Structure 1
Amino acid sequence: MKYAIVESGGKQYRMEEGANLKVDRIHAEPGTDVLLDKVLLVGNSEGATAGQPYVSDAKVACEVVEHGRDKKIVVFRFWRRKDSRKKQGHRQEFTRIKVKSIQA
């Protein structure tokens, strides 16, 4: 089983062929193909190849499935003895992708 560690949106994701992942929003229309080239590590059952910082000539081909927004989280700040508080909500946007192939 071939896998890759890819950087996208400032975060790192472990990707395998055929997997569906939820990553930070990518500006591409659903149904289009996206090529992720910031590959940090490529591995299989025999071993792994790490990059410095990226593996040269390694790419992960993905298809954008859909866009969406996560569940709402509440950010609540409270200052004691000051009679002051702040409540704020946030919904993070995401893109669901399907990994088609890993080229290394």
Structure 2
Amino acid sequence: MYAIVNIAGKQFKVTKDQYVYAPKLQGDIDASVEFDEVLLAENDGTVSVGAPTVDGAKVSGKILDHVKGDKVIVFKKKRRKGYKKKNGHRQEFTKLLIEDIKL
């Protein structure tokens, strides 16, 4: 059983007991979260496609941690002009444990 769910504007293919790194969500650690924007669900070979979402389907999970991703270096340069700009960025993520998929 799996589902494709919209979490904070991004689509994830999730199964039960899977860890997902989603864009940062509001909520405390060990808080339960529920996502009702299920776009597609599969159960024992039968696929339900939503238009735009599957009615009555929900994915529940638990927030495990708030973490930062790897550092991305942004370097800009214009040749022969002496212009150099170095900048770094670390995206924030929320680590989720998918506990249940209800159809």
Task: Confirm or deny a common fold (TM above 0.5).
Answer: yes
Question: SS state of the match for residue 71, structure 1?
Answer: strand
- The share of aligned pairs that are identical, in percent, is 35
Structure 1 gap ranges (5+): none
Report the counterpart of residue 75 of structure 1 in structure 2. Answer: 74
Report the counterpart of residue 33 of structure 2 in structure 1. Answer: 34
Structure 2 gap ranges (5+): none
Tell me how far 1:35 sits from its aligned partner: 0.3
2:86 is the alignment partner of 1:87:
yes
CA distance in 1 between counterparts of 2:89 and 2:68 reads 10
Name the Cα RMSD after superposition: 1.3
Please tell me the residue identity of whatever aligns with 2:63.
V
CA distance in 2 between counterparts of 1:39 and 1:81 reads 52
1:17-72, CA deviations, whole angstroms, 9 ceiling, x for partnerless residues? 11111111111101110001111110134121111111121110001111111111
The answer to which structure has the higher strand fraction is 2
Report the counterpart of residue 20 of structure 1 in structure 2. Answer: 19
Alignment of 1:40-59 (within 5 A): 40-59=39-58
How many equivalent residue pairs? 103
